[in-house]
Amino acid sequence: MLFDDKSWLNDYADYGPFARAALGVLVAKGDWSWWHGRSSLGVSHALHSAIRKNGIAVWGGDEAVFNAEDWIDTTLAIDLARAFSDLSFGFDFRLRIDRSVWNWSSLGDDINELRTYLADAVPDRRVFFDWPQDRRPRTKTPDRQDGALVVSTPTGSTGVEAGQAFTEALNRGSFFRVGDWKPGESLADVLLAKSVNTLTTGSVSAELVIIITDDQRTLARSLDEIRGSTGAKCVVCVQESGNERWLEAFAENWAGNYSSIDMAAAQASEAAGVEGEVVVSNQTFLLHSRRFFSPRLDDNVLESRQIHELLPRFGMTDIDVPENVKPIRKILPKLISTTPPPTARVLEIDAINGDGKKLGKLPSSGEFDIAVAVCPKTPLTKNLVSFPDQKVAWDGDKRVLQVHLLELGKAPVTKELIMPRTGASAPVSFKYLIQGAKLVDLRFMICDGAQILQTEVVPSVRTVLRA
């Protein structure tokens, strides 16, 4: 399980995807007005302003979003979730998972689980990845007859019937022939495959790859390789069972309804009862995907359809959009906070030389100071553990705590640390001497009388000392 929303939100665990979706959008936007204002209306305004003019909201910003339960309390999380739920109900938009998220260590080895999780909070489950790397392979143009797209499959692949049916559905949905089925072509516009391995050999090329598979974990791991090998701008995935029905519905909605490729995928999933979606895409390709299969369509028709998708969802899905209607660019005023992000207090340990300079790592030998303090830090600074202020038995606006330096085979060294209710404490300093080649095994224990508040183990090797 990717997240333990039950522990975080208790009876509101179902709100988890909405809360984390909202938080990732707001942090990626850099808007902290919702944090400092702490109002439901402020959260709602901030989320609306985070949706770009093209209907895309970017999710990511910082890895602290992944560990939201460490710094977002339950009440605020529920406010975030409700605001995002209202947004999802009222407006059509997409969520793009930012490229930086691929490097988050907290994700483990199944990043697709994150996309699936967030999709529970987004209209029509339209969540897609940015490509893992900023590769820009050269686009190759296949040999088209009368401008029709070349739809193919790698040589020796199974599923030829599905590809042919997909092409026929494309042509049924359009006023003219938009696709030619040419199995075994190495250079195509659309490539259908049932195996990731057939897409990573470097022998096939296509702008759009449709893969039929239930193994989305392997697919997600292979996206960068697929991109480099095929030059793909977009990858669509459909489950194996019932894929023929889905592919036909997808083609008909894409060509016949002038839908964007991700909307066509959502419509196909609903119509066929089969899961299929855009997994990764260039943003430009996705936004202009109507022109991909039919560049000869009248621009007014395409613009009208785009406006139709961006309109509010309250009972307006079946109306005609007048030609003079323009896209709604901003629903609520843009609110960008210039105030800093939230902070939490953490235990900080630094090695300091005789000139008062922080060393960053232990010296190889000699005497130096180890400074210990509790300091405010933003939770957006990675891998920090908050100091347990709630466990301190405060005496007015401060408390005298004890810092114990412990080392195997030596007597403890204890000093007092005066801890204020807010802000940073003054550091306490310990002298330490390294003689010869030895491993250092140190730990600091912060106590309030007999109660242990926090323990930090200093690595035994001479690497970064900062906690």
pLDDT tens figures, 374-401: 887 776 665 567 788 889 998 888 999 9
pLDDT at 160: 64
Our CA angle for 137, 261, 143, nearest 5°, is 50
3-class DSSP state of 433: strand
Q: How confident is the model at residue 367, as a pLDDT?
A: 87
Residue 192 has pLDDT above 90, yes or no: yes
Q: Which of 22, 47, 35, 20 is nearest to 342 (CA)?
A: 35
Residues forming a β-bridge with 152: 191
In the DSSP assignment, the letter for residue 325 is -
Q: What is the pLDDT of residues 112-151, one digit of tens each?
A: 999 999 999 998 999 999 999 988 877 788 888 888 899 9
447 pLDDT above the threshold of 80: yes
- Higher-scoring residue by pLDDT: 396, 19: 19
Q: Look-up: residue for tokens 């989305």?
A: 216
Here the tokens at position 452 are 């242990």
**pLDDT of 62 over the 90 cut:** no
Query: End-to-end distance of the chain based on CA atoms, in angstroms?
Result: 28
Whole-number pLDDT of residue 293: 61
Distance between CA atoms of residues 323 and 56, nearest Å: 23
pLDDT at 343: 73
Residue 315 in this model has a pLDDT that exceeds 50: no
- Residues 356-379 have pLDDT tens digits of 887 767 777 888 888 999 887 776
Query: Rounded distance, CA 281 to CA 94, Å?
Result: 12
The pLDDT value recorded for residue 11 is: 93
pTM above 0.85, yes or no: no
- pLDDT category of residue 412 using cuts at 50, 70 and 90: very high
Would you state the structure tokens that stand for residue 11, as one six-digit string?
A: 């009876």
Rounded to whole angstroms, the Cα distance separating 453 from 455 reads 7
Given a contact cutoff of 8 angstroms between Cβ atoms, the answer to whether 163 and 182 are in contact is no
Say whether pLDDT at 462 is over 60. Answer: no
Element (H, E) at 312: none
Q: 386 pairs with which residues across the strands?
A: 346
Task: Please report the pLDDT score of residue 402 as a whole number.
Answer: 95
Q: Kindly report the CA angle at 57 between 55 and 62, in degrees rounded to 5?
A: 170
What is the distance between the alpha carbons of residues 286 and 116, in angstroms, rounded to a whole number? 19
> How far is residue 55 CA from its own chain's centroid?
17
Q: What are the residues whose beta carbons fall under 8 Å from the beta carbon of 335, sequence distance 6 or more?
A: 31, 33, 42, 45, 46, 49
Query: Taking 80 as the threshold, does the pLDDT of residue 1 lie above it?
Result: no
340 pLDDT tier (thresholds 50, 70, 90): low
Q: Indicate the pLDDT class of residue 266, thresholds 50, 70 and 90.
A: very high
Q: What is the pLDDT of residue 141?
A: 82
Q: At 273, phi and psi to the nearest 5? A: 65, 30
Burial 63-102 (b: 16+ CB within 10 A, else e): bbbbbbbebbeeebbbbbbbbbbbbbeebbbbbbbeeebb
Query: Considering only CA atoms, which of 332, 324, 283, 289 is closest in space to residue 307?
Result: 324
Q: Quick one: pLDDT at residue 115?
A: 95
Set out the domains of the chain in order of their start, with CATH numbers: 5-129 (no CATH), 149-297 (3.40.50), 344-458 (2.60.40)
* Least confident stretch, 285-294, 346-355, 370-379, 421-430: 285-294
Cβ proximity of 196 and 180 under 8 Å: no
Average pLDDT of the segment spanning 287-315: 52
CA atoms within 13 A on the CB side of 71: 25
Choose among 260, 191, 268, 263: nearest CA to 227: 191
Decide if pLDDT at 225 tops 90.
Answer: yes
Mean pLDDT over 13-39 rounds to 89
Q: What is the Cβ-side half-sphere exposure of residue 354, based on CA atoms within 13 angstroms?
A: 3
Mean pLDDT of the chain: 82
Whether the pLDDT of residue 306 is over 50: the answer is no
Average of per-residue pLDDT across 202-223: 92
Give the CA distances from residue 32 to residues 25, 29, 126, in Å, rounded to whole numbers and listed in that order.
11, 9, 25
Query: What order of strands is seen across the sheet that includes strand 208-212?
Result: 56-59, 94-97, 127-129, 276-281, 234-238, 208-212, 190-193, 149-152, 179-181
Enumerate residues 6+ apart whose C-beta is below 8 A from 249: 169, 267, 268, 271, 272
| Tokens standing for residue 211 | 């893969």
Ranges of beta strands (E only) in 322-365 are 344-352
Lowest mean pLDDT among 154-158, 193-197, 227-231, 389-393: 154-158
